């Protein structure tokens, strides 16, 4: 394989790994290191990115569970008692007078 073709193959592989990370598909990092040992640094960075993406997904899932719990009909609706945007504008206007 020519050097240019090898570099193209490495980039294609790295893009596939990136797509897997974005779609929350597990990556076998040992296999990837064996397949493209020349890409040690990009693989390390992608693995770090995977960890950040996983943490972000956990935060989003946690947030969604809180939002779903708050929308439980058994709980009081906090938005009824909170001032809306119009109320806030009115309060600001009264403060300017």
Q: What is the pTM for the complete model shown?
A: 0.64
d(CA 22, CA 9): 20
- Predicted confidence at residue 65, as pLDDT, reads 80
Angle in degrees, CA 35, 36, 42, rounded to 5: 135
- Give the whole-number percent of the chain exceeding pLDDT 70: 71
Please indicate whether residue 5 or residue 90 has the higher confidence score (pLDDT): 5
Q: Are 20 and 12 in contact (CB under 8 A)?
A: no
């Amino acid at each position: 394989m020519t050097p240019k073709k090898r570099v193209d193959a490495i980039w294609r592989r790295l893009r596939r790994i990136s797509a897997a990370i974005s779609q929350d598909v597990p990556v076998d990092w040992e296999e990837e290191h064996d397949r493209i040992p020349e890409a040690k640094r990009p693989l390390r960075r992608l693995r770090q990115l995977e960890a950040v993406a996983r943490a972000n997904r956990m935060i989003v899932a946690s947030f969604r569970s809180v939002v779903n719990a708050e929308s439980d009909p058994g709980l009081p609706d906090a938005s009824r008692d909170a001032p809306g945007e119009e109320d806030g504008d009115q309060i600001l206007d009264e403060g300017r007078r």
